[in-house]
Structure 1
Amino acid sequence: MVSKNWIKRKEVSSKEIDDFSKKHNFDKILSELLLERDLTDKTELEDFLNADISGLQDPFGLHDMDKALEIIDEAVETNSKIAIYGDYDADGVTSTSIMKLTLKKLGIDPIFYIPDRFKDGYGPNLDVYKFLAEQNIDLLITVDNGVSGKDEIKYLKDQGIKVIVTDHHDLPEELPDADAIVHPTIPGFEYVCPYLSGAGVAFKIADALLGDEALELIDLAAIGTVADSVPLLGENRVIVTEGLKRMSENNHVGLSELIKKCKLKINNMSEEDIGFKIAPRINALGRMANASSGVELLTTGDADFAKEIVDETEDINKKRQEIVSKVYEDTLVQVEEQKDNGVLVLSGKNWHQGILGIVASRVVEQTHKPTLVLQLDAESGIYKGSGRSPEGFNLFTALNNYRELFVAFGGHAQACGFSVDEDKLGELTEKIQSETSKQKFDVNGSVNEKYDLDLNVSELSFDLIKTINNLAPFGMGNPKPVIKLKNADLSQIQSIGKDGTHLKAKVASDKYQVDAIGFGMYEKAKELTTSICDVYGELGVNEWAGRKNLQLMLDDFEVSAEGKKMSQLKSIYLDYRNKRIAPSILDKFDSIVFFNETYYEVVKRHDANAKLVMYDQSCDGENILIYDRPHDIELFKKFIKENKTLHTALYFHTDLNSRYLTPDMHKMKVLLKYLYTHQNIRETDMQMVADYLKIQKSDVDFYLKVFFELDFVKIVNGFVEKADASKQRELTESPTYLKRLKRNDVEKILIESDFGSLLSWISEYDCHS
């Protein structure tokens, strides 16, 4: 997998967060997230956090909107024949559907044409325009394309056909001579939301034509907006937020059937449901067949017909998934063969042309290298391909340097489509390798990624999800917050998925843990040298069998600095606690270390071959076993700070059934009150007192000794009496009490903790690293 370098999205001080939180009465987590996104202006905050239809902008702010409406109004009045020319992706399908439904509401039944990816290609096609002209159309409306169709549109104009272009793609040097061009970035007429999707532009036309009735189409606009990965800011945020809400109104029976097939809850849809469930199915139609059925699905009022299309769409999507998996697997051999190349050129003879871009994206994600994936058309001898590249490398610029080698070529910085003759592929592969150095792009370098929150596992909760979701919908320009869990334990690693490449695990810290899923991360997890990692992921909910559980979607994990140290310590320290130690085992060590003279003398009588030493003697470079536990944890700290051993076995002469008891303040008060309120209690009566108060006799003896040392009680003629204490005393003034506390520290740290926690504590003082 690609190495990732994780940095905080923006460093915000605790004071800034506190001040912002108090000023706006926000949760501190929400305050930090907003500050990281530079959302501080009051009006901007209000619009961002409370996106609703009041945030929809005046549609007449778009270039030529008034002209477009005049032309459409005239066409409606004269009952003109209108054709809609769309595109084969989800944005194009929803744009076409919005325009078709809008015109139907005006009493026009338009025809529509969705280009075939394989036959017609992307964008305006002169042959198709000629075909539409033969249908005697009076008006052509393009959606999600057209701004680059100068020659094709001229043909229609020469035939006396009016043309309205609605588009959002990059503008060419020269605009077509259309009757109206509705576009958000025309120079001098830049719209307040310049990053509308194709569906967003189509919705604005519906808004201008229908007013409030257009809101019945905003759910389709939301699908196109999410699917096209435009920034979810400004009006786009309103379109998606409102569109998700209105999906439950069932305005489109086809969409409702599709949502049902995806097993989603129509009353609780999210942008992730669109991005991972709805849009891929619509896109599959254009990749594998013809996307016209997608428009039929989204515009039909017949539930039975809609169900048929949905079933067909599901079959096509499953086929698409299978083909993508197969072709991706086929590319892996070539990826390995080209591991020294800066640009990967992967080709096949029987690969499906519609999924080449998806495969290229997967390879880029795994390798961080610009990637071209091509399929040979045997009849023409031409390779048709798609290219993708990581951020930082301009693929369009790179390929444009060799334009003469292509039959056809187009695209932008991160994605290109092209055709190249079979006999030119070798030359292209060789020449393009120099482009990474020209652009000073390090294909072996780490990728900079941003995270938002530093948290502990204990802080993960359903309430935290609610706080984070104040920033939804998430997408381009407003990514879902990534959480960093420092020094977490990544454990219970399992391989899941059909091909076993996905990871299921637990992420834990202290007594808290959360389920985690990492796509394509099992191999990486298997290679970990220690489970102590810095973990990065997005918090969500996994709902199964009616139960909801927190789940972390992993973005990455890496052995933490502490984890590396822990890994080293695991090779040095051995856990012998609660094991039986036979004399023969002691002989395997260079030295046996003691903290107590008593144990030293006992073991000495066994004639052990190993050297027996006290804790204040040097054991540098030796294999040792620490036999017993110190009464003061500071002695153990000093020992591990000063002795750089080869291996250290920790025995501590541990008996799990024998513990130093923690002083119980309540029991101490009960005993002291009893002694103060009862007379004639002899020192020898303590067993009876212990039985009556239900306190262990050993505890009573300990507490009584503490009371004597603090002058709470005294012995007079063998009887226990209240002492005349002249001042308030603290328990820690008792040497016995203080000694017990120190022994309890030893107990808690060295005996009771699990080995991982013990090593974590040792790492703070150990001298090996």
Structure 2
Amino acid sequence: MTVGDGLTLINWEKRKNPSKQEIEKFATDKKVDNIVAQLLIERGITDNLEIESFLNSNVDELQDPFGLHDMDKALEIIDDAVQSQKKIAIYGDYDADGVTSTSIMKLTLQKLGAKPIFYIPDRFKDGYGPNLDRYKELADKGIDLLITVDNGVSGKDQIKYLKDQGIQVVVTDHHDLPKELPEADAIVHPTIPGAEYVCPYLSGAGVVFKIADALLGDEALELIDLAAIGTVADSVALKGENRVIVSEGLRQMRQNHHVGLSTLIKKCKIKVNDISEEDIGFKIAPRINALGRLDNASSGVELLTTGDETFAKEIVDETEDINSHRQELVNSAFNDAQDQIEAQKDNGVLILKGNGWHQGVLGIVASRAMDQENKPVLATQFDENSGVMKGSGRSPEGFNLFTALDQYRDLFTAFGGHAQACGFSIEESQLDKLTELIQAEPAKQNFDPHAPVVKKYDLSLKIADLNFDLIKKINRLAPFGMGNPKPVIKLTNVELAQPRSIGKDGTHLKTQVADQSHQVDAIGFGMYQKSQEEETDVCDVYGELGINEWAGRKNLQLMLDDFQVSPAAQKVQELKKVYLDYRNKRISTEIINHFDDVVFFNEAYYEAAKRSKLQVNMVRYDEDVSGDNVLIYDRPHNLDLFKKFIKKNKSQHTALFFHTNLANGYLKPDMVKMKELLKYIYSHQNIQANQMDLVAKYLNFEKNDVDFYLKVFFELNFVKMVNGFVEKADASQQRELIESPTYLKRLQRNEVEKILIESNFDDLLSWMSDYDCHC
């Protein structure tokens, strides 16, 4: 468990835990790689047809558009309006889904020969959803047909006005349905009860694309890139047909069908041949959204439907400036909100009141506060033009914001949205009433805002496993998004090496995630302060693997989702309070005398110390040690002896000295040299035992090595001594080296050398943590 950027506790869990055997069998049966197999199993995608569709989505999998509710009615009305040259108006929305929906409908009608007008509501003048005043203005312009896109189902009264004026209305929407639907001529929506569409997750742009598909056939594919933007931007589930829309949409973007979109892609410095859903989500959609947040989003429709490159460039340059200004406003408002968030820390739902906040950034402020606190958030600001509070809400998974607020619809002057996001207008006095009422909603939905956030990771790997080929395997499951998150990789017991702050405000972390032999670059947004607060650099790290391209070079890069001190590292931190590393220190009699007890593992050292002038309690390792401050003087020859000691060592502080008279450590047995020596003995006669130094010199071996190997050979009955000569023995059975007491003892001492002497202190304590009584 770890604490996130705010007060939120995070518990990381494996998405699923298929066994190695299950993964390998699945991979063999389905003819996929083991990594792909594991990810498919974790997502519950196990049917052959489903796997094929998921991994290889194509336009052939686009569903019959007439499966959508009222599609036949809508087409009949639209076709009649086009053929009769009736005046058609499109009423959209000011976010990226609404802008792309409007653009698709406009281009579709133009391809049919119509000349529609469109209206994108002004966030500040019109508010969210249908607006009666704007409907009246459109009626005054003499329209015959109104087509709503990405909105409309909540406009019962507004649509009734148009119907009373004899104006036909086709609603196309995907938002959560109100208790009463408007009396429109047709409602094209994927979740109408009794007529649920095969892909209920369609975005507003997805619904409009289906209408284009019904009207234009294959020619509609030229518009699927715009539908992909709306689908990604609105965070709908990337399942079923949505995968086809995004996958094919990305392919269409590479063909540069739309002048305005191509200009925007260039401005974002996206390599069009490598464009991905992440480019839409983090670069393209935010810029389109910025238009509706700070200005009027109509220019976004103009951009996506123009064929004039000069005009497109003018809009894109303006969009870039607006987006930069939007980022500044968001940072300012979010920082200003922190005091309110702290004051409401005991509330289940946060109600934030802006102090001069720009209304266009309320949704982002709410989203950031939600991420920080894992609570539903309503961010509001008083609107002087309308005299009411304008607001935007966001909620985490597990809490349905639409359900919570819809029952208080009579408190709002305008309201609409879905489970995780909404927009509304409300009188300030009613907001105070709502603030009180809504605090009961988390309990009603069994949502605990103070419980740890449970997040999922997919793959537990080592840094050595990370490579470009792994990225290719992971990307078999792209596009990623809601319902198909990009796989999160866990790296256990790694170090955050060379952490440094980056970004304008220095809040972001650039580091290298490293183990003893490998490392990978990593970026953690907003994580620098957290990296400085950790007591240890050894962490469990969670993140998505990607590629960072700079100056023509491609490098692996991990985008950090989180890091937390690993359980093993926590144990090491605890043991550092007990154990002191004296292994490379010079130690004098004066220093030794400051300890309560000095522990010996070797009898020779113990007896020598007894004869010295040490004024300290000297004990053998298997005797009781009662002092608070202890020095382990020498090294054991067997790790089991050391394990037994630390299992019962309850001292407050223990210094590890591990003295030995060995100058170069223990000899590490070399199998190649042992075989060479044995072969030499077997092939030569009359080798006297006292001439082994000559043999060592001839073979270019150390004399100590030869003496050791020869002793092992005698114990295993490989050789024998006959009248002072070393000869081949008549061994009747094959023997293992480990059967030699000398060889076994040397292996044990080598293990002592490797773990107690050669390892760094953190690794030593990590090994000790499995046995030490302080853990």
TM score, norm. by length of structure 1? 0.93
Deviation of residue 422 (structure 1)?
Answer: 4.1
Deviations 1:360-388 (A, max 9, x none): 11111111233222212346653322232
Match of 2:11 in 1: 5
Match of 2:270 among 241, 249, 264: 264
Match of 1:292 among 292, 295, 298: 298
Deviation of residue 569 (structure 1)?
Answer: 1.0
Deviations 1:549-589 (A, max 9, x none): 33332333333333332221111111112222232221221
In terms of mean alpha carbon deviation, does 402-411 or 52-61 score higher? 402-411
Distance 1:319-1:445 versus aligned 2 partners, 3 A rule:
same
Match of 2:256 in 1: 250
In terms of mean alpha carbon deviation, does 259-268 or 426-435 score higher? 426-435
In terms of mean alpha carbon deviation, does 602-611 or 421-430 score higher? 421-430
Deviations 1:128-174 (A, max 9, x none): 22323333334332221223333333443444443332222233444
Match of 2:697 among 691, 701, 704: 691
Match of 2:335 among 306, 324, 329: 329
Q: Which amino acid aligns with 1:544?
A: W
- Partner secondary structure for residue 319 of structure 2: helix
Match of 1:316 in 2: 322
Deviation of residue 409 (structure 1)?
Answer: 4.2
Looking at structure 2, the residues matched to 748 and 581 of structure 1 have their Cα atoms a distance apart, in angstroms, of 22
Match of 1:564 among 570, 577, 581: 570
Aligned residues: 769
Deviation of residue 663 (structure 1)?
Answer: 0.8
Q: Is 2:238 the partner of 1:236?
A: no
Looking at structure 2, the residues matched to 380 and 211 of structure 1 have their Cα atoms a distance apart, in angstroms, of 44
Q: Is 2:30 the partner of 1:28?
A: no
Deviation of residue 478 (structure 1)?
Answer: 1.6
Deviation of residue 58 (structure 1)?
Answer: 1.6
- Partner secondary structure for residue 537 of structure 1: strand
- Partner secondary structure for residue 191 of structure 1: coil
Match of 1:548 among 554, 559, 565: 554
Match of 1:614 in 2: 620
Matches within 5 A, 1:312-711: 312-378=318-384, 381-396=387-402, 398-399=404-405, 406-422=412-428, 426=432, 428-430=434-436, 432-437=438-443, 441-653=447-659, 658-711=664-717
Deviations 1:358-417 (A, max 9, x none): 101111111123322221234665332223233344444555666665554444443333
Q: Which amino acid aligns with 2:569?
A: G
Q: Which amino acid aligns with 1:662?
A: K
Match of 2:61 in 1: 55
The CA RMSD over aligned residues, in Å, is 2.6
Q: Is 2:169 the partner of 1:163?
A: yes
Looking at structure 1, the residues matched to 464 and 325 of structure 2 have their Cα atoms a distance apart, in angstroms, of 42
Q: Which amino acid aligns with 2:279?
A: D
Ranked by relative contact order (alpha carbons within 8 Å, sequence separation 6 or more), the top structure is: 2
Looking at structure 2, the residues matched to 516 and 345 of structure 1 have their Cα atoms a distance apart, in angstroms, of 35
Deviations 1:287-346 (A, max 9, x none): 110111111111122222222211111111111111000100001122223333333222
Contact 1:271 1:473 in 2 (8 A): yes
Looking at structure 2, the residues matched to 207 and 426 of structure 1 have their Cα atoms a distance apart, in angstroms, of 47
Match of 1:734 among 740, 744, 747: 740
Match of 1:277 in 2: 283
Q: Is 2:728 the partner of 1:722?
A: yes
- Partner secondary structure for residue 707 of structure 1: helix
Distance 1:70-1:410 versus aligned 2 partners, 3 A rule:
closer
Distance 1:305-1:583 versus aligned 2 partners, 3 A rule:
farther
Match of 2:756 among 724, 747, 750: 750
Looking at structure 2, the residues matched to 12 and 709 of structure 1 have their Cα atoms a distance apart, in angstroms, of 48
Q: Which amino acid aligns with 1:57?
A: Q
Looking at structure 2, the residues matched to 543 and 619 of structure 1 have their Cα atoms a distance apart, in angstroms, of 59
Distance 1:104-1:430 versus aligned 2 partners, 3 A rule:
closer
Match of 1:148 in 2: 154
Deviation of residue 223 (structure 1)?
Answer: 0.7
Distance 1:654-1:371 versus aligned 2 partners, 3 A rule:
farther
Looking at structure 2, the residues matched to 558 and 618 of structure 1 have their Cα atoms a distance apart, in angstroms, of 38
Distance 1:139-1:476 versus aligned 2 partners, 3 A rule:
same
Matches within 5 A, 1:36-51: 36-51=42-57
Looking at structure 2, the residues matched to 620 and 402 of structure 1 have their Cα atoms a distance apart, in angstroms, of 70
Deviations 1:19-48 (A, max 9, x none): 322321222332222222222222122111
Looking at structure 2, the residues matched to 731 and 29 of structure 1 have their Cα atoms a distance apart, in angstroms, of 40
Distance 1:422-1:313 versus aligned 2 partners, 3 A rule:
same
Distance 1:433-1:142 versus aligned 2 partners, 3 A rule:
closer
Deviation of residue 355 (structure 1)?
Answer: 0.7
In terms of mean alpha carbon deviation, does 410-419 or 665-674 score higher? 410-419
In terms of mean alpha carbon deviation, does 497-506 or 311-320 score higher? 497-506
Deviation of residue 16 (structure 1)?
Answer: 3.4
Contact 1:287 1:355 in 2 (8 A): yes
Match of 1:127 among 125, 128, 133: 133
Looking at structure 2, the residues matched to 30 and 579 of structure 1 have their Cα atoms a distance apart, in angstroms, of 52
Looking at structure 2, the residues matched to 172 and 424 of structure 1 have their Cα atoms a distance apart, in angstroms, of 21
Distance 1:253-1:654 versus aligned 2 partners, 3 A rule:
farther
* Percent identity over paired residues: 71
Deviations 1:410-447 (A, max 9, x none): 44443333334445555554554455455554332212
Contact 2:540 2:565 in 1 (8 A): yes
Distance 1:149-1:434 versus aligned 2 partners, 3 A rule:
closer
Contact 2:227 2:249 in 1 (8 A): yes
In terms of mean alpha carbon deviation, does 49-58 or 469-478 score higher? 469-478
Deviation of residue 72 (structure 1)?
Answer: 3.3
Looking at structure 1, the residues matched to 688 and 477 of structure 2 have their Cα atoms a distance apart, in angstroms, of 71
Match of 2:145 in 1: 139
Query: Structure 2, unaligned stretches of length 5 or more?
Result: 1-5
Contact 2:175 2:418 in 1 (8 A): no
Contact 2:175 2:417 in 1 (8 A): no
Distance 1:560-1:415 versus aligned 2 partners, 3 A rule:
same
Looking at structure 2, the residues matched to 555 and 738 of structure 1 have their Cα atoms a distance apart, in angstroms, of 47
Looking at structure 2, the residues matched to 62 and 398 of structure 1 have their Cα atoms a distance apart, in angstroms, of 28
Match of 2:3 in 1: none
Query: Structure 1, unaligned stretches of length 5 or more?
Result: none
In terms of mean alpha carbon deviation, does 14-23 or 111-120 score higher? 14-23
